[in-house]
Amino acid sequence: MASVSKSTGAATDAQAQRSTREFAQAVRAHALRMVHAVNASHIGSSLSMTDLLAVLYGGGVLRVHPAEPEWAERDRFILSKGHAAASAYATLAEAGFFPTDWLATYCLDGSRLSGHLTRGVPGVELSTGSLGHGLPVGAGMALAAKRDTLPWRTFVMLSDGELDEGSNWEAILFAAHHGLDNLVAIVDYNKIQSFGSVAEVMRLDPLAEKWRAFGWACREIDGHDHDAIADALNSVPHEPGKPTAIVAHTIKGKGVSFMENLLAWHYKSPNDEQLAQALAEVEQE
Amino acid sequence: MRNTFISALCDLAEQDERIWLLCGDLGYSVLERFSERFPTRYVNMGVAEQNMVGVAAGLALSGKVVFTYSIANFPVMRCLEQLRNDVSYHNLSVVTVAVGTGLPYGTHGYTHHGIEDIGIMRAFPNMTVVAPGDPVEARLATAALVAQGGPGYLRLGKGGEPTVHQTPPDFQLGRALPLRAGDDVAILATGAILAEAVTAADLLAQQGIRATLLSVPTIQPLDTEAILAAAARVPLLVTVEEHRPVGGLASAVAETLACAPGQHARLLPCGVTISPKVIGGGAYLRERNGLDGAHLAQTIAQALTGERAAHVLHSGGA
């Protein structure tokens, strides 16, 4: 098939030379600058999933072609936790879907880049922002590919807090029932939701066992260990005939010492001094 | 009406491989016709409407034209945000089909009455809201929604509705269909209640009251041109719907009239207004709401008497 050369992943030749560590570093720096510039929220949520995005897009896991974002056979990626748009936009820009210049327009009046991820931006498959929407839509995409025997896969990134939404569990039942082994759910399990820790607000543990009980293959990984992430993502489906869940243990605010594991950074935006310190820390990573 | 719908959908699906049908574990003895013929384009989604609509959106983003099917308010309200964010916002070809809207599930109780759905669905951008008045309109509306593409809401009766259109009308989305012409009053009916409005128009004719009767299958976009033309000609516009007047056809017509300059007809809304706690069958509930043909005719005749009295008073004082 003519598209084989495209199916080797997002990274262009030049980008393939760059490590996913460097990719993640660039994304973190963009995201910090973006939220600082417009005093936006959710930097903690953006930083916790950055390493996962870096491996997905910078490590060639996703079979996408940034120069042709609507390529019919592309893998689909849905960010269900749409509030973490800053690092998602930064990732798409770094992967080459659109110029990195656009990132400076994040959340500005009349911009293409809204505070929650919005379709119409190259590489964005679904507008999200209200939680609990991404997995059902991803299941629909996976069902379409399965019934039409098409090779592309669907990846959905979820937050831990959004697993409170019942719609996810409807989709989790559904995907297992229909044997959607072309569907991958990644949980950015940073253990902090909007108004408290997951343990305090609505306990999820034992989370991996829940996925397994619902008929998914589930693997737990360190969501900041790039080798572990690549190993998990490159070996899907982990069990034939079952959808794959990857519970990625992460740290909210990862990479910036004064943001890590603090609820406040779900809301706060760094001031000038904090930005400088954060960028210095990220660059040392 | 539901059998006509599924027959129409089967005919369309025969020609168009993009067409899928998802149901919310309802449709016994109706949907088998589709599921047996097109098993790879049919899914019983279980009792999980939010996922049904999300999956429909995912299928539509993959090039499918998806119909979701359930009864009364279930495919609308349980999954409302999925309809808003996933379907309407993304402008996807997903048609929500609700059968038994209005009051036909009478004794099942208020949980099974679809009487606020029009108001909710017509609030969304990109959403075409269609309530066919008889099986003929249901067939034509199904085909028109597929041809148009984009989000749609097909609000159907349950079954056994009489055929009003003896010859196929010139059905177009967004256009009202004239059934009677008269200059005393104009009756605008939407949905399966249409046959009662026809009865009312006939009863009024026996009293010498000549009514214009418009079937208004499309509530969004509304045929404002036809409505304003009628409002300029008659003193009274009557909306008839098996729906609460709030948000329904009555609201849509009121919005149109309120924005129109000059003299025009007054609005008499006829809809579901009694307490949701009243228990009874569909026919009984129609009567209690004054929505059967005889009650409608009586209400309209009384209102016209009032109009004339007011007019005489006004003329006398001038």
What is the value of ipTM here, to two decimals? 0.94
The beta-carbon neighbor of A143 closest among B50, B55, B90 is B55
Contacts of A97 (CB under 8 A, 6+ apart): A66, A69, A121, A122, A123
Q: Which of chain A's residues have a Cβ under 8 Å away from the Cβ of B81?
A: 130, 133
Residue whose tokens read 């119909």: B67
Element (H, E) at B11: helix B2-15
List phi, psi (to 5°) of A145: -65, -40
Burial-class residue B160 by CB neighbours within 10 Å (0-12, 13-18, 19+). Answer: exposed
Give the distance, in angstroms, between the CA of residue B128 and the centroid of all CA atoms in the same chain.
11
Residue B66 pairs with which residues in a beta bridge? Answer: B20, B94
User: What are the average pLDDT values for consecutive 10-residue runs of chain B, which has 318 residues?
Assistant: 96 98 95 97 98 98 98 97 98 98 95 97 98 98 98 95 96 98 98 98 98 98 98 97 97 97 94 96 97 98 87 58
Q: Does B48 touch chain A (CB under 8 A)?
A: yes
| Residue B78: closest C-alpha in chain A | A167
Give me the mean pLDDT over the A163-191 stretch.
98
**Whether residue A8 has pLDDT greater than 90:** no
Q: Which of chain B's residues have a Cβ under 8 Å away from the Cβ of A125?
A: 61
pLDDT band of residue A2 (cuts 50, 70, 90) is very low
**Whether residue A16 has pLDDT greater than 80:** no
In a mutational test of the B interface, the residue from A70, A124, A153, A167 whose CB has the highest number of chain B CBs within 10 Å is: A167
How far apart (Å, rounded) are the C-alpha atoms in residues A172 and A188? 16
How far apart (Å, rounded) are the C-alpha atoms in residues B161 and B165? 12
The alpha carbon of residue A163 is apart from the nearest alpha carbon of chain B, in Å, by: 14
pLDDT band of residue A285 (cuts 50, 70, 90) is confident
Q: Do B82 and A139 touch (CB under 8 A)?
A: no
Give me the mean pLDDT over the A143-147 stretch.
98
**pLDDT tens digits for A185-206?**
999 999 999 999 999 999 999 9
Q: Does B61 touch chain A (CB under 8 A)?
A: yes
| Residue A174: closest C-alpha in chain B | B45
The alpha carbon of residue B98 is apart from the nearest alpha carbon of chain A, in Å, by: 20
Distances (CA, A) of B243 to A132, A260, B278: 31, 53, 15
Q: Do B54 and A167 touch (CB under 8 A)?
A: yes
Query: Do the Cβ atoms of B30 and B6 come closer than 8 Å?
Result: yes
Round the average pLDDT of chain A to a whole number and report it: 94
Query: Do the Cβ atoms of B156 and B132 come closer than 8 Å?
Result: yes
> Which of left, alpha, beta for A3 (phi over 0: left; psi -120 to 50: alpha)?
alpha
Q: What tokens appear for B108 in the block?
A: 């099942």
Contacts of A264 (CB under 8 A, 6+ apart): none
pLDDT number for residue B309 = 77
SS3 state of residue B1: coil
- CB neighbours (10 Å) of residue B89? 19
Residue whose tokens read 């060639």: A60
Q: Does B89 touch chain A (CB under 8 A)?
A: yes
Range with the poorest average pLDDT among A4-18, A112-126, B83-97: A4-18
- Beta-strand ranges (E) seen in chain A are 76-79, 154-159, 183-189, 192-193, 196-197, 217-222, 244-249
The beta-carbon neighbor of B50 closest among A126, A136, A145 is A136
| Residue B56: closest C-alpha in chain A | A140
**Whether residue A14 has pLDDT greater than 60:** no
Q: Does B54 touch chain A (CB under 8 A)?
A: yes
Q: What tokens appear for A239 in the block?
A: 């069990």
Cα radius of gyration rounded to whole Å, chain A: 18
Q: Do A132 and B56 touch (CB under 8 A)?
A: no
Cα radius of gyration rounded to whole Å, chain B: 20
Q: What tokens appear for B269 in the block?
A: 């809304």
Element (H, E) at A211: helix A207-213
Q: What tokens appear for B282 in the block?
A: 């569909």
User: What's this model's pTM, rounded to 2 decimal places?
Assistant: 0.95
pLDDT number for residue A1 = 33
